[in-house]
Structure 1
């Protein structure tokens, strides 16, 4: 076993965050990165469900007026490839903030009740809800794995006219999580190879 080998626990939980139709509205969000994200998320969902590992689906119910992720907006629905895989999930969480740990039902309680200690976090957006959930997971003592290529985000403007591209934000997330010790940043292919049968 090499120092960098990935080991996937038989009960490793795949946390699929906010893969909702509202994120397809480019006029609302602007340019995105990583067009392969959805295919990679689907592959991980299939692998986790086929091996009997738990899959947690998380959806965002925005409270902001006019949001494409508001519960009464068509964009609130899961993207089709996720909707096609529902019914086998172990848990469905609804949240109104960035972290999946602040949703209903309570993620930490659910994980604790089952003794689950390893999380794989995927979804949208890389530098928002994915990063926040991964950081909190690390703070709470979970082993967190983030396949960066199973996430995506959008260009974003900050203070004083400073802006970063989606790729720059994703790179910053990778450095923050991995370098900061919150999570191990990896790839979809690495996780699929390591998962095997549960």
Structure 2
């Protein structure tokens, strides 16, 4: 029995419905996630699909919107767990930990949307729960992030024009700095699928 699980977080249509989607960090996300999924299946690793929902919100994360579904190109197989969360991390509002425990999983590979939010919080909590965590940054995606004082009603143009806005690249770099050596090991897609040995690529 494999001791490793690939956790695919929030790679969902909801994000594509937002105007900020045009400024996403990783247009090749689906293809990269698919490579990780294919490799995990070949090794016999568990693949866990996680979606984010905000019931009753009336927004793109409200299940009634029809957007709380995987992006085109990703197809779970029968028997692969599908979880829906309402918190940022994939543990707190799901039975993910129970699922991993009952299957003897001790290693997690994390990918998905958003890099510094749901992916990072899942990696942090996973580590604190005792899992060995691999964070595949290039199989995550994020967006320019506005300053906390910018009104929530601000449009994309206003967000991008604000000098306090952090670019998607800056957010990604900050996440790697926060995780590496503390909560997770940063790996490339090639390293994880085995095309490039970690001791060579590192």
Q: What SS does structure 2 have at the residue aligned with 1:119?
A: strand
* 1:55–1:89 Cα contact (<8 Å) kept: no
- Deviation larger for 152-161 or 142-151: 152-161
Q: Which runs of 4+ in 1 moved over 4 A?
A: none
1:100 deviation in Å? 0.4
Q: 1:101 aligns with which of 72, 91, 100?
A: 91
Say if 1:15 and 1:88 are closer, same or farther in 2 by CA, change over 3 A.
same
What residue is the counterpart of 2:161 in the other structure? none
What residue is the counterpart of 1:3 in the other structure? none
What residue is the counterpart of 2:177 in the other structure? 175
Task: Give the 5 Å matches for 1:136-151.
Answer: 136-151=125-140
Q: 2:30 aligns with which of 38, 46, 52?
A: 38
Give the Cα–Cα distance (whole angstroms) in 2 for the partners of residues 89 and 153 of structure 1. 29
- Deviation larger for 132-141 or 95-104: 95-104
* 1:10–1:53 Cα contact (<8 Å) kept: yes
What residue is the counterpart of 1:6 in the other structure? none
Task: Give 1 or 2 for the bigger CA radius of gyration.
Answer: 2
What residue is the counterpart of 1:122 in the other structure? 111
Q: What SS does structure 2 have at the residue aligned with 1:62?
A: coil
1:29 deviation in Å? 5.2
1:57 deviation in Å? 0.4
Say if 1:22 and 1:167 are closer, same or farther in 2 by CA, change over 3 A.
same
Q: What SS does structure 2 have at the residue aligned with 1:86?
A: coil
Say if 1:26 and 1:33 are closer, same or farther in 2 by CA, change over 3 A.
same
1:138 deviation in Å? 0.8
Mark the runs of 5 or more structure 1 residues left unpaired by the alignment.
1-8
Mark the runs of 5 or more structure 2 residues left unpaired by the alignment.
151-163, 198-202
Alignment TM-score, normalising by the size of structure 1: 0.85
Q: What SS does structure 2 have at the residue aligned with 1:69?
A: coil
Q: Does 1:65 align with 2:57?
A: yes
Q: What SS does structure 2 have at the residue aligned with 1:163?
A: coil
Say if 1:26 and 1:74 are closer, same or farther in 2 by CA, change over 3 A.
same
Give the Cα–Cα distance (whole angstroms) in 2 for the partners of residues 165 and 145 of structure 1. 24
Count of residues in Structure 1 that have an aligned counterpart in Structure 2: 184
* 1:16–1:55 Cα contact (<8 Å) kept: yes
Give the Cα–Cα distance (whole angstroms) in 1 for the partners of residues 34 and 122 of structure 2. 20
Say if 1:147 and 1:89 are closer, same or farther in 2 by CA, change over 3 A.
farther
1:160 deviation in Å? 4.3
